[in-house]
Structure 1
Amino acid sequence: MPHLFVEYTDNLDGFPEVPVLTALNATVIASGEVLDECDLKSRVTRTTRFAVGNDATASRGFVHAELRLLTGRTPEAKRDLSERIAAVLREHTPKPEGMLVQLSVDVVDMDRAAYFKGRL
Structure 2
Amino acid sequence: MPQITVDHSKTLSFDREGFARDLHTATVEIAAARPEACKTQFRPSEYTAFGYEDPAEQGHAVVHVTLGLLAGRTDEVKAQLTEAVLELLRKHIEDDGVVLHASAEVRDLDPSYRKFER
- Using the size of structure 1 for normalisation, the TM-score is 0.88
Q: C-alpha displacement at 1:41, in angstroms?
A: 1.0
Equivalent-residue separation in structure 2 for 1:7 and 1:94 (angstroms): 16
Equivalent-residue separation in structure 2 for 1:2 and 1:87 (angstroms): 19
Identity among equivalent positions (%) equals 26
AA matched with 1:79 = A
Per-residue CA deviation, residues 1-59 of structure 1 (Å, 9 max, x unaligned), is 111111211221x311111111111111121421x211111121211112122222310
Q: Judge conservation of contact 2:48–2:62 (CA < 8 Å) in 1.
A: no
Larger helix share, 1 or 2 = 2
How many residue pairs align between the two structures?
Answer: 116
The answer to whether 1:52 aligns with 2:50 is: yes
- Using the size of structure 2 for normalisation, the TM-score is 0.89
Q: Judge conservation of contact 1:21–1:44 (CA < 8 Å) in 2.
A: no
Query: 1:12-91, aligned counterparts within 5 Å?
Result: 12=12, 14-34=13-33, 36-55=34-53, 56=55, 57-91=57-91
Contiguous gaps of at least 5 residues in structure 1: none
AA matched with 2:15 = P
Give 4+ residue runs of structure 1 displaced > 6 Å after superposition. Answer: none
RMSD (Å), alpha carbons: 1.4
